[in-house]
């Protein structure tokens, strides 16, 4: 029987396709491993930052994560980058919260929902509070995408409340940062931050003075 030597039969093609599929699968495994390692590092850093603040060393974080120091440094150059990543992970969650608050019909309800929701999420998260309020600014450039997404939603909520006459006219997104940082500086503390926010809301809500 004559074997067709034309283009209809090419044994190399299945081999090439198989090699390509294998390489693609390998890359997927590597990406999955990298994600798991990154998450393990952030979990370990969060635990240690919450316990000991900036005194924690990178080697301790790697050890807690069960990884080598080299793996840690491949993901994060220093503690500033780690702090930024912890903030970025929380900001991703906060963005969903802010977007949900935007759906409220009442602009003031939207603002309060955002404010209290943000702080209630921050209260049990000592690592996030340390990362945000620590002795030095985190590496914001590393989490620009998360920061921009969250800030945009905050800005829309604040502007809507101002334009509706529910929030004092000179209040801006930067003031939201000041208010929340002041509240977080009083955490934990048996809910003292709630008293602080109640007092501040009395000063920033439009039409409450005079």
CATH of the domain at 56: 1.10.357.10
Q: Tell me: the pLDDT tens digits for 71-103?
A: 999 999 999 899 999 999 999 999 999 999 999
Residue 1 resides in a domain: no
For residue 105, give Cα distances in angstroms to 102, 119, 160.
8, 22, 11
Residue 56 resides in a domain: yes
Entry pTM = 0.77
Q: Do residues 64 and 93 share a domain?
A: no
Q: Do residues 36 and 66 share a domain?
A: yes
Q: What are phi and psi of 167, to 5 degrees?
A: -130, 140
Residue 4 resides in a domain: no
Q: What is the pLDDT of residue 208?
A: 52
Q: Sign of torsion, CA 131 132 138 140? A: positive
Q: Tell me: the pLDDT tens digits for 146-179?
A: 999 999 999 999 999 999 999 999 999 999 999 9
Give the distance from CA 79 to its chain's centroid: 16
Q: How many residues does the chain have?
A: 210
- Give the domain extent around 44: 11-76
Judge whether residue 136 has pLDDT over 90: no
Tokens of 86: 């912890």
Judge whether residue 141 has pLDDT over 60: yes
Q: What is the pLDDT of residue 184?
A: 94
Residue 3 resides in a domain: no
**Residues 122 and 193 sit within 8 Å (Cβ to Cβ):** no
Q: Do residues 69 and 53 share a domain?
A: yes
Residue 42 resides in a domain: yes
Residue that is last in its domain, among 52, 76, 100: 76
Q: Do residues 46 and 100 share a domain?
A: no
**Residues 58 and 72 sit within 8 Å (Cβ to Cβ):** yes
Q: Can you tell me the distance from the alpha carbon of 24 to that of 8, in angstroms, rounded to the nearest whole number?
A: 26
Q: In the chain, how many domains are there?
A: 2
> Does a cis peptide bond (omega within 30 degrees of 0) precede residue 188?
yes
Q: Can you tell me the distance from the alpha carbon of 58 to that of 82, in angstroms, rounded to the nearest whole number?
A: 10
Q: Do residues 89 and 21 share a domain?
A: no
Q: Sign of torsion, CA 76 129 65 61? A: positive
Judge whether residue 19 has pLDDT over 90: no
| Overall average pLDDT of the 168-194 stretch | 91
Residue 6 resides in a domain: no
Judge whether residue 12 has pLDDT over 50: no
pLDDT band of residue 209 (cuts 50, 70, 90) is very low
Q: Can you tell me the distance from the alpha carbon of 106 to that of 201, in angstroms, rounded to the nearest whole number?
A: 16
Q: Do residues 22 and 85 share a domain?
A: no
Judge whether residue 17 has pLDDT over 60: no
For residue 149, give Cα distances in angstroms to 51, 122, 143, 152, 172.
29, 18, 10, 5, 17
């Amino acid at each position: 029987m004559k074997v067709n030597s034309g283009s209809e039969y090419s044994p190399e093609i299945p081999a090439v396709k198989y090699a390509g599929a294998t390489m693609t699968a390998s890359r997927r495994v590597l990406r999955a491993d990298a994600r798991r390692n990154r998450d393990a590092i952030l979990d370990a850093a969060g635990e240690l930052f919450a316990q000991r603040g900036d005194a924690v060393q990178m080697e301790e974080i790697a050890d807690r994560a069960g990884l080598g120091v080299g793996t840690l440094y491949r993901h994060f150059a220093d503690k500033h980058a780690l702090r930024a990543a912890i903030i970025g992970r929380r900001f991703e969650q906060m963005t969903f919260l802010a977007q949900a608050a935007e759906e409220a019909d009442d602009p003031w309800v939207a603002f309060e929902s955002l404010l209290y929701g943000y702080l209630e999420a921050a209260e049990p998260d000592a690592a996030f509070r340390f990362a945000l309020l620590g002795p030095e600014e985190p590496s914001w450039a590393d989490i620009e995408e998360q920061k921009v997404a969250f800030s945009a939603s905050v800005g829309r909520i604040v502007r809507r409340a101002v334009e509706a006459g529910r929030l004092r006219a000179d209040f801006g997104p930067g003031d939201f940062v000041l208010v929340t940082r002041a509240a977080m500086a009083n955490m934990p503390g048996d809910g003292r931050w709630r008293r602080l926010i109640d007092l501040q809301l009395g000063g920033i809500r439009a039409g409450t003075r005079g």
